[in-house]
Structure 1
Amino acid sequence: MSVEFLHPEGMLKQTDYSPVAVGTGTRLILLAGQAGVTPDFQPAAPDLAGQVEAALRNIVVGVRGAGGNAGDLARLTFYIVDWSVEMWDDVLTGIARVQQEEGLPKPAPPITIIGVQALFTPDFVVEIEATAVLN
């Protein structure tokens, strides 16, 4: 495995994602922000949980296309329209679906959430950037 997740002593003990990822490999994969869209650029779902799920699936497709898998993901950055902490459960729901069906690590790689005013179109409520490390 090219990515190891750590919870160093003294850091907040998250259970949903790891605060530190150590990547050891020969290839760094940087994925552009992925929205929760279908290949024909239509929203995959009307809600945040569904769009998180679809965006993460798009990320997995990208990593696989570069020769890796979901276990090679080392970092996720979420851009969420009108973010509030009450949305966290919807984010976790979308993540859990991809963990179960696509092999996204559990706990998830390090996550950063950034609240934004808008994304490319008003139909998109989340966009996710990703970094993966491959051997």
Structure 2
Amino acid sequence: MPVHRLSPPSVHTPSDQISQVVTVEGTRLAHLSGQVAWDARGRPVGRGDHGAQAAQIARNLDAVLAAVGATRDDIVEETVYVVDYTPRLLPAIFGPLRAGVSAAPASTLVGVSALFAPEYLLEVTVVAALP
């Protein structure tokens, strides 16, 4: 079963130790690396603002998914990691992540004390079924 790994140039890839998207022939699923709120050059977007970070993550998801012919409508599973989570953050997080999406994926939200760098408040991992 062939496995293909891709990191599109329109999304920052911090090292060669990760692939932004992995597809497995036969199952037609794409497993994306966790997306945070950085731009294509690796600069943080929306410091201190969960909603602004969710919007940048949605843009990053769009770019990575487009590289394999998919959209956020094709996401079948997601995990959302949130620094300093409180329920009042849900609209700020899920508003941008669901904007323009016709159906919600299976989803897990995990409150965490920190991510890999202090400027990031959210990280989202997804699995998408390729069309």
Contact 1:56/1:128, CA 8 A, preserved across alignment: no
State the alpha-carbon separation in 2 of the partners of residues 92 and 32 from structure 1: 19
Q: Which runs of 4+ in 1 moved over 6 A?
A: none
1:64 to 57, 66, 73: 66
Are residues 69 and 92 of structure 1, via their aligned partners in 2, closer, same or farther at CA, if it must alter by over 3 Å?
closer
Question: What aligned pairs does 1:1-135 form with structure 2 within 5 A after superposition?
Answer: 26-46=27-47, 47-96=49-98, 99-100=99-100, 104-105=101-102, 107-135=103-131
Aligned-residue sequence identity (percent) comes to 29
Contact 1:81/1:125, CA 8 A, preserved across alignment: yes
Matched to 2:125, the amino acid is E
Number of matched pairs = 105
State the alpha-carbon separation in 1 of the partners of residues 66 and 46 from structure 2: 23
Q: Which has the higher contact order (CA 8 A, sep 6+)?
A: 1
RMSD after superposition: 1.7
TM-score (norm: length of structure 2)? 0.72
Gaps of 5+ in 2: 1-25
The structure with the largest helix share of the pair is: 1
Gaps of 5+ in 1: 1-24
